[in-house]
């Protein structure tokens, strides 16, 4: 199957997302590594970092945390529906998953999460 065409997640990809959600420390470690690798090519890097800060915030409700950790888990997967190295198309699936997670958790992502994200991205 052509990797440039969106496809359903495989069982292994779903297992990786589930593992990421169960292991917040692993998401943290892998998130920063993945973000550094692709930050220059990621137009939604600030949103990703704000989602990360919301996901690790103890005040965030558990259901919201799980949703956000799932979206971050999808972002850090080494393989996903559309290969991330493809210009313009590479992050469309990541952006769609992130947009859905943000829509579900919009009230939980605070101005402080966004401020911290801007600080990180500006460095």
Percent of the chain with pLDDT over 90: 15
Rg from Cα positions in the chain: 14
Percent of the chain with pLDDT over 70: 63
Q: 3-7, 16-20, 74-78: which has the minimum mean pLDDT?
A: 3-7
Asked whether the beta carbons of 92 and 38 are under 8 A apart, the reply is: no
Which pLDDT tens digit goes with each residue over 92-102? Answer: 777 778 888 88
How many Å apart are CA 55 and CA 85, to the nearest integer? Answer: 26
Question: What is the model's pLDDT at position 4?
Answer: 37
Max distance between CA atoms of the chain, in angstroms, equals 43
pTM: 0.64
Closest C-alpha among 76, 108, 115 to residue 94: 76
């Amino acid at each position: 199957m052509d990797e440039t065409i969106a496809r359903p997640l495989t069982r292994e990809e779903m297992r990786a997302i589930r593992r990421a959600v169960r292991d917040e420390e692993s998401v943290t470690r892998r998130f920063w590594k993945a973000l550094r690798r692709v930050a220059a090519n990621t137009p939604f890097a600030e949103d990703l970092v704000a989602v990360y800060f919301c996901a690790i915030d103890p005040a965030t409700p558990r259901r919201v945390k799980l949703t956000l950790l799932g979206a971050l888990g999808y972002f850090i997967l080494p393989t996903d529906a559309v290969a991330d190295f493809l210009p313009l198309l590479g992050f469309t699936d990541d952006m769609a998953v992130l947009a859905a997670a943000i829509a579900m958790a919009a009230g939980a992502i605070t101005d402080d999460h966004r401020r911290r994200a801007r600080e990180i991205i500006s460095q």
